[in-house]
Structure 1
């Protein structure tokens, strides 16, 4: 019989760090995750990548439900695999349902509270259900729930033991716009309270809207890390697209064409206003020289806007590398 691990409430304000060091996982000859290293701290982090990129496998490795073939996964130095006590610190919302249709939402969450041997499982279950706004439907069988309601009740089971780390695999699947916004607000609040909140997605706008940090997975590899603007700035070999409005676009265009920081300059119009579309191949030089050119020629800069800073552009570039 396995010894019961004492319940350890989360210490408010204590920093939490999840670390993956050279983690790989293969299934026979198939390599699902290849030599991934990353450090994830408190706040909301998005795990971005196309379907089949290895996101779900990575979350299973982080949660301790799958052993790495090589490398280590730790939370504050404790390994997640074969470490029963670490499950007190992790909440998991899997993509697959894995639910019992004939059980009520209340009993489903309460059972999880009891499995964690919480001091007051009923109070914990009630608090978790209130957190995800499912009080009115808690008495109904899970089989009667919509996809979005099932996602929320799974969220309640993941939160019932007040974990340090919350891992969510495609949590917005099946949710309507209102439910998505509610879940985004909840995740942001949990992150502000010091938890590590990591969620996977292949929907670019979801990650861009909520995640302070982004970890990009492509074909089982860790392709990039940071926020989407930081990732974009690292890609100096790909031209940066800018839209510029100034008091003399033609004079500014002539100066930029003569400079080595741009690959293309094109005069255009937007809503009846003349604009300048610029491809900057040397980001640092362009950022330095543009205001110099304007000052030397007495040109006023009204607008300098990155035209390709969306996460979709960043992601498309990473996939094509």
Structure 2
């Protein structure tokens, strides 16, 4: 069970501050690192991987400083956003070279296992330079997994993957998270993050913005109404009853669809079933319409 710690870290390049006083802890399971372009995600991952030292603060793995600590690579696998491959090698040669560099027992067998894990057996004898973007991503993943690491850092791993490849990677990440590995990945593909990550860390303009389960983060946004679509046995009666209560910021019944804006989440969640019961209305479905990860992320960026 490995834990990464970022403590009061900043990193600047000349007059440009890429990361500004960020503190976060990344433990076993899958953590999604979110932020718009230029937010500092890659800089954070590079510091966690030991590629960059923090200008101030510390970055540690289980209490040991990562910068200039080569032993961390025995338990860490890294998939950088840039290609980081040798196009003249075959896929198998590339993964095998990484296995040998790690001193893995029986490197040939380890390379075959890693290639099989990412579904690249059939293309392993082709040169990497002939691969598509998605195939290069998968062979980079195989090289990162060849020594069976406890920690995995992935910078935009879904880039260039087709839907089938993305589904395969989602399944692989879920398996690793269930095994208790510590997985951190950055992505702009919010649907995949929503499906895979146990928790999220959000950085905007180099600063820490939010952390935790995105649904819990959404519920803490008390200055923005929560939106629901409701289906019931009598939407008009239910709408009239809800309008009279102060926990709703707005009720709209249009085109046969009842939409409710609730300004107080907890009160509304208690109020709705009681109002429906008292009005003799049966609730068929209550669906939040703004609790997707995309809505949370957009709100944080805008504010």
Secondary structure of 2:2's aligned partner: coil
Instruction: State the 1:103 CA deviation.
Output: 1.4
Q: How far apart, CA to CA, are the structure 2 residues paired with 1:242 and 1:126? A: 49
Q: How far apart, CA to CA, are the structure 2 residues paired with 1:217 and 1:50? A: 8
Match of 1:112 in 2: 98
Question: 1:226 and 2:218 equivalent?
Answer: no
Instruction: State the 1:157 CA deviation.
Output: 0.9
Match of 1:285 in 2: 267
Matching residue within 42, 47, 50 for 2:33: 47
Instruction: State the 1:296 CA deviation.
Output: 2.6
Secondary structure of 2:99's aligned partner: helix
Matching residue within 9, 14, 21 for 1:35: 21
Match of 1:169 in 2: 155
Matching residue within 82, 89, 94 for 1:96: 82
Q: How far apart, CA to CA, are the structure 1 residues paired with 2:121 and 2:240? A: 65
Residues 248-278 of structure 1: per-residue CA shift (max 9 Å, x gap): 3233222322222111111123xxxx33211
Match of 1:3 in 2: none
The correspondence of residues 100-249 of structure 1 with structure 2, limited to 5 A, is 100-249=86-235
Residues 86-125 of structure 1: per-residue CA shift (max 9 Å, x gap): 1111100011012211112222111111211223222222
Matching residue within 65, 68, 73 for 1:87: 73
| Structure 1 portions without partners, runs of 5+ | 1-14
Residues 183-233 of structure 1: per-residue CA shift (max 9 Å, x gap): 111111111111111111112112112222211121112211122211211
Following superposition, which runs of at least 4 residues in structure 1 exceed 4 angstroms of deviation? none
- Whether the 8 Å CA contact 2:95–2:142 is kept in 1: the answer is yes
Question: 1:305 and 2:291 equivalent?
Answer: no
Match of 1:265 in 2: 251
Q: How many aligned positions are there?
A: 303
| Structure 2 portions without partners, runs of 5+ | none
- Whether the 8 Å CA contact 2:9–2:23 is kept in 1: the answer is yes
| RMSD between aligned residues | 1.5
Q: How far apart, CA to CA, are the structure 2 residues paired with 1:296 and 1:102? A: 73
Q: How far apart, CA to CA, are the structure 1 residues paired with 2:233 and 2:112? A: 62
Q: How far apart, CA to CA, are the structure 1 residues paired with 2:31 and 2:136? A: 23
Q: How far apart, CA to CA, are the structure 2 residues paired with 1:146 and 1:275? A: 45
Q: How far apart, CA to CA, are the structure 1 residues paired with 2:287 and 2:122? A: 47
